[in-house]
Amino acid sequence: RRLARDVGGPASSSSAFALALAIASTNSAEHVDAVEGCLTNQGCPMALSAWNNLRNGWVIPTHVTVFGHDDPIWVLGVYYHGKNPAPRRRTRAGTGSAEGRATGTAPHIQDFLADFQSRFWMTYRRGFPQIGGSELTTDCGWGCMIRSGQMILAQSLICFLLGRAWRIHCQLPEQQDTERQIIRWFTDIPQECSPFSIHTLVELS
């Protein structure tokens, strides 16, 4: 409560997160709840995400590995390399190369980005309906393996229903319908229309 009063009006993500760290330094349950409430009320999703990462034990890297544009990249069996391209599947409409020329980015890098951006990302969520037999409405801190399994399954469904060469930014209308159906199957609700929700997976385990 004190944290909410101290923050007052709108705040930037950085200032809200800095204040949250200062208040939560005592590591008490009351202060942890106050921090989460503050970041939620302030509408700072990036700060809230950083807070969840910190709370759940992530370590901020002290250095960043630098990759050159000529370094080879593999994404789920597809090879991207500027100097020595190997046989690989291209995007359906070849958008990568055209966009690469327009932005000055190497074509194979643009192809890689189109591929990477087409992968489904399942991550921690909060505020979903209670998981049966518990009071849990979030999987922050414990749902990582379930989310990883969901991503593997989602990728398998994409390859089976849409093909490995499918790209989210150049899909046909019927492909978009299939993509949205796959997403609905993973919605975090305890209903038959979402057979791969976290509720269903927890119940089956």
pLDDT digits (tens, 9 = 90+) for 65-102: 776 667 788 888 888 876 655 544 444 333 444 444 44
Compute the distance between CA of residue 3 and CA of residue 12 in angstroms, rounded to an integer.
15
pTM: 0.63
- Of the candidates 199, 39, 52, the one whose C-alpha atom is nearest the C-alpha of residue 140 is 52
Q: How far is CA 173 from CA 142, 170, 180, 189, 204, in A?
A: 37, 10, 11, 26, 34
**Residue 67: half-sphere exposure toward Cβ, Cα within 13 Å:** 8
Q: What is the pLDDT of residues 166-196, one digit of tens each?
A: 999 988 889 999 999 999 999 999 989 999 9
Compute the distance between CA of residue 179 and CA of residue 116 in angstroms, rounded to an integer.
16
Largest CA distance in the chain: 61
Compute the distance between CA of residue 105 and CA of residue 69 in angstroms, rounded to an integer.
9
What pLDDT is attached to residue 148?
93
Compute the distance between CA of residue 94 and CA of residue 79 in angstroms, rounded to an integer.
15
Residue 146 has pLDDT above 90, yes or no: yes
